[in-house]
Amino acid sequence: MIDWPLAELLPHAGDMILIDQVLAFDEEQIETRLIVKAGGLFNREDGSLPAWAGIELMAQSVAAYAGCRARLQGRPVALGFLLGTRKFECNVEHFPLGAPLHIHALRSLEDDNGMGVFECHLTGPGIHASARLNVFRPPQADTYLAQTPRETRHD
């Protein structure tokens, strides 16, 4: 188990941090977990999480992977972007209140420009979801975000 606070690994704050813990991490993969709790930003009335929130849980696990790598290398946590999801499949419509969920993200591709692809699996009691996430971490995130879009011409 990794004891680093999630707030130091993710570029998220407060209620936006959905995962509870990093269980394991190495150069190629990460394992995280959470227990579905009521009262979150995405919970349904019965306290469960809709299955589509699994994509965010996977994305936060990938962000925690990047945060762990940054911490080991003595760099600050950098902002990253989820560009897209391929082949999201889930065998349930929602994750029940109290369900323990385990997320595994395996890096399958990463280039020097900040593009990456991760194979992700989310499991729990009677639950299996999987997806391939395409992510991007700009080399200079602050500069990237400070750029303003070009003015559009209206002729």
| pLDDT bracket for residue 85 (50, 70, 90) | very high
In the predicted structure, residue 140 carries a pLDDT above the cut 70: no
**Residue 137, helix vs strand vs coil:** coil
| pLDDT bracket for residue 88 (50, 70, 90) | very high
In a 10 Å sphere around its CB, with 0-12 CB exposed, 13-18 middle and 19+ buried, how is residue 122 labelled? buried
Q: CA–CA separation, 80 vs 103, rounded Å?
A: 19
Residues in the chain: 155
In the predicted structure, residue 108 carries a pLDDT above the cut 60: yes
Q: What does pTM read for this prediction?
A: 0.87
| pLDDT bracket for residue 48 (50, 70, 90) | very high
Q: CA–CA separation, 132 vs 88, rounded Å?
A: 7
| pLDDT bracket for residue 144 (50, 70, 90) | low
Cβ pair 131, 58 in contact under 8 A: yes
Phi, psi angle pair for 17, to nearest 5°: -80, 110
In the predicted structure, residue 83 carries a pLDDT above the cut 90: yes
Q: What does the pLDDT look like over 52-79, one tens digit per residue?
A: 999 999 999 999 999 999 999 998 888 8
Domains delineated in the chain: 6-140 (3.10.129.10)
